[in-house]
Amino acid sequence: MSSRILDEVLPIFTQQDYQIRMLVEGLAQLIYKATIKGPNDLAVSYFVPYSTWKLSGQTWQMLFHQGTSCEPFDVFSNNVQ
């Protein structure tokens, strides 16, 4: 492994408030709140990711994913990953 990879500082992510909504049978939408803070960033970025999932046989497959910036929200302290 490269020493660059071993020394790399990863961003900090949080995820919370998951909601799943069934659109029709076999098609679901997942919505949650998330944050990211890079190792050199002074501020935290807040966003709400949305994804659409389709049931294919016995496996769920993501069809679409988008993260939309949002206003800051309270982050649960036990949620830092």
pLDDT at 79: 54
Is 8 in a helix, a strand, or coil? coil
Over the Cα atoms of the chain, what is R_g? Answer: 16
Matching residue, tokens 């990879």: 5
- For the chain, report the end-to-end CA distance as a whole number of angstroms: 24
pTM listed for this prediction:
0.78
Q: How far, in whole angstroms, is CA 46 from its chain's centroid? A: 10
Interval 16-57: pLDDT, tens: 999 999 999 999 999 999 999 988 888 899 999 999 999 999
Is the sign of the CA dihedral 38, 39, 43, 46 positive or negative? positive
Q: What is the pLDDT of residue 48?
A: 98
Phi, psi (deg, nearest 5) at residue 67: -115, 125
